[in-house]
Structure 1
Amino acid sequence: MSDPWWQSAVIYQVYPRSFADGDGDGVGDLAGLLSRLPYIASLGVDGIWLTPFQPSPQVDQGYDVSDYCDVDPLFGTLQQFDQLLDLAHSLGLRIVLDVVPNHCSSEHPLFQQALRSSPGSSERAMFHFADGPDPATPPNNWQSVFGGSAWSRVNPGSDSDHQWYLHLFSPAQPDWNWRNPLVGDYFAEVLRFWFDRGVDGLRIDVAHALFKAEGLPDAATTGTVVDGLRSNPLVSDQEEVHEVYRRWRTLTDSYTPERFLVGEVNLDPQQAARYTRSDEMHQAFAFAFVRLGWDANEWAGVGRELEAARLEHGASPTWALENHDIVRSATRFGGGSRGVARARAGLLAILGLPGGAYIYQGQELGLTEVDVPVAARVDPMWERGGVSRDGARVPLPWTVAPEKSHGFSLVDAPSSPWLPLPSSWGASAVEVHQEDEHSTLRLVTAALELRRQLGFKGVLNSGDAGVWRVGNGDLLICERGSEFFVAVAMGDAPARLPPGSTVVIASAPQAEDGWLEPDSAAWVLRH
């Protein structure tokens, strides 16, 4: 029996607002994605993860959902989504959607009903409403991820309703109360809605934070939470959350062809791996890896932790170096030409590691973080906490010419993009990379083709272990079986490969036979 497709799949993350603008309003949409879908297929990836496009006031760029089972008119229609799904499947691409079960929009009809209802009502029991010790003091000291208190007054001017509601993110994103069974029933229907339409998988946002500690007690610390909720254990990784994913796994496994669940579980490897036990989610992102800098020992250490978690719980790691929430790797790895070289090497490396991998749109172009002008920033995290994620969300450049915002818009006389494009953006355009045989885009397509070939030949298989070590000169090595390993030269000088090595693809030319240039990576066959 062959392994499930997702176990070694490479998924391309699309941030719809910034991928392609089909109607000229300056915001990417489903029409633009439909037109550019052949480009994604040409990369050789196995599927697409779409961040939210459901109806939303867009306070948090779609992660404040007001209707889980439709398409926001900003992005198109449900009919267009069905067309997208059909075209993707005809091109051999699976579609993975975001589900946001921790919180919704304050404009969600059920939350609006709760606001109109009285304290103690069944409507308010769908969320976390609570009284403080006095009208001016919130129920506890929990902090929002976006900065400030995690509580807002329901009716600040009321003499009779002194309740507060919980929002781990912005006040426009009230948290669901997962201790109420009706919430679980509601989301089971959301999953069925999308699976019934033919969606292949779901990415679960903030998957570890659905349940809050019983009684909502004060946290031991009061600092602003900026590290994926880990500094307040009372709002994440409560044991009850695993029953949710057992229920969802049973639901998911009832579909043919097979569907899958991947979790945003921003916890340490051993904790996160518990969410991928055989009766829970199929995958969880390797967050301990996503945020690493350029350090061989750190990479090897996290790699060993992830391998230990795999051996204990069975699910292979899901590798990524970028997404819409973190600084682009070319900037994170030092910036300038060296940062770009490292980002290119890092991308080749994760495509050769055992398990699945995710590529964030523009990563295949080596895009760097953009310093978006302060006046143009729209991230609520910037407004409340002084941290902006806008720099990784700037629309993609498709063409060298600046017309139509470097090809981001597909119609004449488009509106300005929702985030401004840098004047240098054309130099990184898709068409530039397509014409340059040494570009990062061409490297990615070659690597994905080679990945398939080696898989067909049995050199790679998703059950391979990852054996990590660091050699002389900060040469990072991850061995996959006896025939293949990934090598990354993370020091300041060329690094010598082990004897008997044949490089089959590299992110940069070799210093000389048997040596890797610093800040480069290679896939190596052993003979």
Structure 2
Amino acid sequence: MTTFAEDAASSAAGSAGPMAPAWWTSAVVYQIYPRSFADGNGDGVGDLAGIRSKLDYLADLGVDVLWLSPIYPSPQHDNGYDISDYEDIDPLFGSLAEFDELLAETHARGMRLVMDLVVNHTSDEHPWFVESRASLTNPKRDWYWWRSPRAVAASDVPVEPNGWRSAFSGPAWTLDESTGQYYLHLFASQQPDLNWENPQVRAAVYAMMNRWLDRGVDGFRMDVINLVSKQLEDIDGGSAVGGLGFSMGPRLHEFMHEMHEAVFAGRDAQLLTVGEMPGVSVAEARLFTDPARRELDMVFQFEHVWLDQGADKFDPLPLDLVALKASLSRWQDGLADVGWNSLYLNNHDQPRLVSRFGDDGQFRYESATLWATVLHLHRGTPYVYQGEELGMTNVPFADIAEFRDIESINYYREAVLEQGREPGPVLAGLRKMSRDNARTPVQWDSTAHAGFTTGQPWIPVNPNYVTVNAEADRAAERSVFEFYRRLIALRHASATVALGRFQLLEPEHPTLYAFTRDGDDEQLLVVANVSGSPLSVPLVEGWLDEELLVTNYPVAGAPASTLAPWEARVYRRATGQNSPG
């Protein structure tokens, strides 16, 4: 792990000649969902004290950056993504003084800390919105999207300005009775969208970001940042476009460049900026992440995590490995010469990886480590979501009352109570895909509530915590944690893993994930059997005499060319100047 001083020297050296690779090209980010990570005061909700108590665990894992999901004051309608004060810490999690201690202790261990930035919308309890809704003439009226009801002949019933739908079900417009106008919210009704067309809004956001950076924060993960620029003609034209049809507005690149110049310029070499952009294309991502354009370091794209969704998110489809390989390979190729990839299969909005794409029963260890191998051997910056390094699984939710996520609860209400669908299939979809799967507490040990809290947890712990927990995993002969630790160390040590060229092999094979990574003097072969049956892999035969760099199975003599269920291997071959084509 490099120090800040070494990073600065590397950056300075790069400025005198060919640009040195950015520090984050060999870094790994660990996402913390604070309310579910570790509870330090026993109130059943994770907090800053809990995170501080686990910093040695994270340093031992070897990660370079901690990304905290929102910890700002919030009414918690969307678990903190509805922010009522951008400048403070919610008492639920601690205080600014405790945050400063966490930041200092994180830095002391050689790690950076990145904050979540949620500026497409605020809470409806944010002072800006309270002022905005006070009257039609309030100076902050134009800080949000207000529109009068749409006129409909022979009807006295107010009608939304257009047909946009909220990402959390229902219309994206709510009528404010006191002023007679609707306000726009692309998410919950308690999350009104900021009007980024107003330069005062942007200036206020940039000033807030600068204050956090001045405090020592090392960058931002930007929530749905590609929604901040709206298609104005659609807002006022009665458009019926829903879903994410309102993303990638015409001024988005302008706003991202303006943000860079107002906030990051002059100190960006030490920071990390990643924009969450559902629906972004490869071509657009090249523009956003081209260093010459001075916008963002990387983006989160969603293409690969939408592949197993049918009619909607809660209509899960089986894994189509051919489609997944094609998607990830397209992004590898598309950002090979310009820009940079972020690599993830888990986060706070996705179900648990091992249950989604693996086998969370007999082959939990094998499938968890297979997907870790595949992801971390791609070119890009890997993101590890809390508990992923332990092989945590989805939760056997029995009833809608056990869910906490607003998206899941609203979906069930609309599907069952309003549309009359059978509750059984709806619940089955929620069990498979709900965000709550990722939000149950991290399983630290086999004591009550998995060692997460001494109180009553805000959401029940997965009942498999007795056997699936950090203490048991780290003591086991086959430890998911130790496997992740070795993969992270490999990225730190290997320029080929960090920067090597990627080439997909066997693109049409239904269960084999295979690719090469080419560096200046070596080539790596990655092969993974994404199935519960043995798989003959002839292309391995030419590599059996090479160094077996990574494997998730015991090695007994020279490995054969047949991969066991959920087996992954990485071979290394020295190439010198004769790298194979």
Question: Taking structure 1 as the reference length, what is the TM-score of the superposition?
Answer: 0.90
Counterpart of 1:343 in structure 2: which amino acid?
A: A
Please list the CA deviations of residues 315-367 of structure 1 after superposition, one character each: whole Å capped at 9, or x if unmatched.
Answer: 22111010010111111125442663333211122112112100000001111
Q: Distance in 1 between matches of 2:91 and 2:400?
A: 28
Paired position in structure 1 for 2:259: 248
Equivalent pairs, count: 503
Please list the CA deviations of residues 434-462 of structure 1 after superposition, one character each: whole Å capped at 9, or x if unmatched.
Answer: 10131211211122223333x2xx44442
Please list the CA deviations of residues 131-176 of structure 1 after superposition, one character each: whole Å capped at 9, or x if unmatched.
Answer: 0125521111100000000000111xx5xx3200000000000000
Counterpart of 1:385 in structure 2: which amino acid?
A: Y
Paired position in structure 1 for 2:501: 465
Change in Cα spacing, 1:339 to 1:122, as seen in structure 2 (3 Å) is: farther
Paired position in structure 1 for 2:273: 261
Structure 2: unaligned runs, 5 residues or longer? 1-13, 15-19, 152-156, 309-318, 413-429, 575-581
1:26 aligns with 2:18: no
- Three-state SS of the structure 2 residue aligned to 1:428 is coil
Please list the CA deviations of residues 21-57 of structure 1 after superposition, one character each: whole Å capped at 9, or x if unmatched.
Answer: 0011000000010011111111011111100000100
User: In the alignment, is the contact (CA less than 8 A) between 2:285 and 2:339 conserved in 1?
Assistant: no
1:485 aligns with 2:485: no
Q: Distance in 1 between matches of 2:566 and 2:239?
A: 42
Shift of residue 275, structure 1, vs aligned partner: 2.1
User: In the alignment, is the contact (CA less than 8 A) between 1:286 and 1:320 conserved in 2?
Assistant: no
Decide which of 249, 270, 293 is 1:238's aligned counterpart.
249
Shift of residue 241, structure 1, vs aligned partner: 1.0
Deviates further, 330-339 or 358-367: 330-339
Q: Distance in 2 between matches of 1:254 and 1:248?
A: 13
Aligned residues with identical type, % of pairs: 34
Shift of residue 287, structure 1, vs aligned partner: 2.5
1:72 aligns with 2:90: yes
Q: Distance in 1 between matches of 2:164 and 2:237?
A: 7
Counterpart of 2:252 in structure 1: which amino acid?
A: V
1:9 aligns with 2:9: no
Decide which of 528, 536, 539 is 1:495's aligned counterpart.
536
1:210 aligns with 2:251: no
- Three-state SS of the structure 1 residue aligned to 2:296 is coil
User: In the alignment, is the contact (CA less than 8 A) between 1:253 and 1:259 conserved in 2?
Assistant: no
- Three-state SS of the structure 2 residue aligned to 1:54 is coil
Shift of residue 122, structure 1, vs aligned partner: 3.1
Shift of residue 291, structure 1, vs aligned partner: 4.8
Please list the CA deviations of residues 176-231 of structure 1 after superposition, one character each: whole Å capped at 9, or x if unmatched.
Answer: 011111111011112101110111110000011101111414576566x3xxx2xx
Counterpart of 1:298 in structure 2: which amino acid?
A: A
Paired position in structure 2 for 1:521: 568
Instruction: Summarize the alignment of residues 222-301 of structure 1 with structure 2, pairs less than 5 Å apart.
Output: 225=243, 229=244, 232=245, 235-250=246-261, 251-255=263-267, 258-267=270-279, 268-278=281-291, 279-291=294-306, 294-301=319-326
1:326 aligns with 2:350: yes
1:383 aligns with 2:435: no
Q: Distance in 1 between matches of 2:171 and 2:112?
A: 40
- Three-state SS of the structure 2 residue aligned to 1:466 is strand
Change in Cα spacing, 1:451 to 1:209, as seen in structure 2 (3 Å) is: same
Decide which of 129, 135, 138 is 2:146's aligned counterpart.
129
User: In the alignment, is the contact (CA less than 8 A) between 1:263 and 1:284 conserved in 2?
Assistant: yes
Shift of residue 374, structure 1, vs aligned partner: 2.0
Change in Cα spacing, 1:133 to 1:78, as seen in structure 2 (3 Å) is: same
1:444 aligns with 2:484: yes
Q: Distance in 2 between matches of 1:6 and 1:291?
A: 26
User: In the alignment, is the contact (CA less than 8 A) between 1:286 and 1:319 conserved in 2?
Assistant: no
What is the CA RMSD across the aligned residues, in angstroms? 2.1
Q: Distance in 2 between matches of 1:503 and 1:275?
A: 37
Instruction: Summarize the alignment of residues 183-222 of structure 1 with structure 2, pairs less than 5 Å apart.
Output: 183-215=201-233, 216-217=235-236, 221=240
Paired position in structure 2 for 1:505: 550
Q: Distance in 1 between matches of 2:36 and 2:498?
A: 34
User: In the alignment, is the contact (CA less than 8 A) between 2:230 and 2:250 conserved in 1?
Assistant: no
- Three-state SS of the structure 1 residue aligned to 2:87 is coil
